[in-house]
Amino acid sequence: MLEASRATYAINGRRLVDEVDLKLQPGKVVAVVGPNGAGKSTLLRLLAGEIAPTAGCVRIDGRELKSVVPRELARRRAVVPQSTALSFPFTVLEVVLLGATVPGFAPAEPRAFAIAASTLRTVGLAGFEQRLFTELSGGERQRVHIARAVPTGDGEAAPRRDRVAAAR
């Protein structure tokens, strides 16, 4: 479970997120809705562990995010950003495999390729594996990132239903 307890984020005395309390259950869909500038993206950055609260705390499975090592955190949550700047000529398959391993550091397990192909089918991108990410439309790029968020980073590349995902 991902939870925030009186989570606050302030910059220069201005509170962008003010004492938020929430509990997010794995496998549940939650929408964060509000006007521009309301702090939605900042809240999601707090929940993802990209930034630390200036007051209060954010926990995953009862542990404060700041005490969870990045590798372990990556196994428990995935983030699909609102937009991304990826200018390297990666193929769609290579981008999806980033959810399972980091190219150049550890080879993807054979199952990772099957899982990647399956997740691409799920998001409606079967047959896109060898297309260059930089040549896709904005919506296609977003679906690639959703597929990337599904495989785990633990070398097994198996989808995990207990993983918390956030989109911003």
CA-nearest of 105, 137, 123 to 165 is 123
Cα angle, residue 159 at apex, residues 114 and 4 outer, rounded to 5°: 150
pLDDT digits 0-9 by tens, 23-64: 998 888 888 898 888 999 899 999 999 899 999 999 999 999
- Indicate the pLDDT class of residue 152, thresholds 50, 70 and 90: very low
- Indicate the pLDDT class of residue 21, thresholds 50, 70 and 90: very high
Superfamily of domain covering 2-68: P-loop containing nucleotide triphosphate hydrolases (3.40.50.300)
pTM of the model: 0.65
Q: Which residues contact 158 (CB under 8 A, 6 or more apart)?
A: 111, 115, 151, 152
Q: What is the largest CA-CA distance in the chain?
A: 50
CA-nearest of 27, 15, 28, 20 to 3 is 20
- Which residues in the chain are classed under CATH 3.40.50.300? 2-68
- Indicate the pLDDT class of residue 164, thresholds 50, 70 and 90: very low
- pLDDT of residue 153 exceeding 60, the answer is no
Contacts 24+ apart (CB under 8 A), 61-67: 61/1, 62/1
Q: Which residues contact 33 (CB under 8 A, 6 or more apart)?
A: 40
